[in-house]
Amino acid sequence: MSVSDIKESYDEYADQMDRFEWIDSVILGRYRRARFGDVEGRVLDVACGTGTNFKYLPDSVDLVGIDISPEMLANATKQLAELEIDGNLKEMDAQELKFADDSFNAVISSLSTCTFPDPVAVLREMERVCKPDGTIRLVEHGRSDIGPMAKYQEWRADAHYEKTGCRWTQEPRELVSEAGLDVRNTNTGLFGTITTFEITPNQRDQR
């Protein structure tokens, strides 16, 4: 799917995703809180969607969120208002972030690499805009490490991609490694389907 197909698809799903956010809180809330709950300073949420991560961030952060879908961003704007957070949301393609190098203390993203046409390029963009002493945090989904569950995912993968633009058997560890990122800490949960990362940006001369 192209970026514009994905944009259309998420424009269509935005209200539904917002309505079912309570299910996300029950299942994924603890992963989001554990990875994003201690970030500081100027924080970029890449592909922020309906703003699901916002409630897990400390009140003190200076938040910027980007997403390709205006409808997802409309829900994220409501989320900011409900949480009384003063964030700044922009429509933008994650593959070409319109921010200068070293702009953020923390770059976070969740359940997003599965939808980018070039996820490795996005991971490199995240590193570029993150300060060298900053941190990149990810909560991503992938193939289960439980055999029958992985088989089911593989069986449904093409149909799921056609419907949602999400490659749900894509393995986030492989992407992070291909992007050459320096993983400081990682863990996996929910039958191997969720992997979270704390990444230290490489120094600029090593990029």
Ligand X SMILES: C[S@@+](CC[C@H](N)C(=O)[O-])C[C@H]1O[C@@H](n2cnc3c(N)ncnc32)[C@H](O)[C@@H]1O
Q: Specify the residue, 94 or 181, whose C-beta has the smaller distance to ligand X.
A: 94
CB neighbour burial string for 14-42, b if at least 16 within 10 angstroms, e if fewer: beebbeebeebeeebeebbbbbbeebeeb
User: In the complex, what is the shortest distance from the CB of residue 84 to ligand X, in angstroms, rounded to a whole number?
Assistant: 20
Closest residue to ligand X, based on beta-carbon distance? 49
Q: Specify the residue, 121 or 132, whose C-beta has the smaller distance to ligand X.
A: 121
User: In the complex, what is the shortest distance from the CB of residue 56 to ligand X, in angstroms, rounded to a whole number?
Assistant: 10
Q: Specify the residue, 5 or 133, whose C-beta has the smaller distance to ligand X.
A: 5
**DSSP labels for 109-177?**
EES-TTT-SSHHHHHHHHHHHEEEEEEEEEEEE---SSHHHHHHHHHHHHHHHHHHS--TT--HHHHHH
Q: Specify the residue, 21 or 102, whose C-beta has the smaller distance to ligand X.
A: 21
Point out which residues bind ligand X (CB under 6 A): 3, 6, 10, 47-49, 52, 67-69, 72, 93-95, 110-112, 115-116
Tokens of 116: 């980018």
User: In the complex, what is the shortest distance from the CB of residue 115 to ligand X, in angstroms, rounded to a whole number?
Assistant: 4
**Region for 93 from its dihedrals, namely left if φ exceeds 0, alpha if ψ lies in -120 to 50, beta otherwise:** beta
The values of phi and psi at residue 191, to 5°, are 60, 30
Q: Specify the residue, 96 or 174, whose C-beta has the smaller distance to ligand X.
A: 96
Q: Cβ(88)–Cβ(66) under 8 Å?
A: no
User: In the complex, what is the shortest distance from the CB of residue 147 to ligand X, in angstroms, rounded to a whole number?
Assistant: 25
Q: Cβ(176)–Cβ(183) under 8 Å?
A: yes
User: In the complex, what is the shortest distance from the CB of residue 110 to ligand X, in angstroms, rounded to a whole number?
Assistant: 4
Q: Specify the residue, 1 or 132, whose C-beta has the smaller distance to ligand X.
A: 1
User: In the complex, what is the shortest distance from the CB of residue 98 to ligand X, in angstroms, rounded to a whole number?
Assistant: 11
Using alpha carbons, select from 151, 186, 181, 148 the residue that is nearest to residue 169. 151
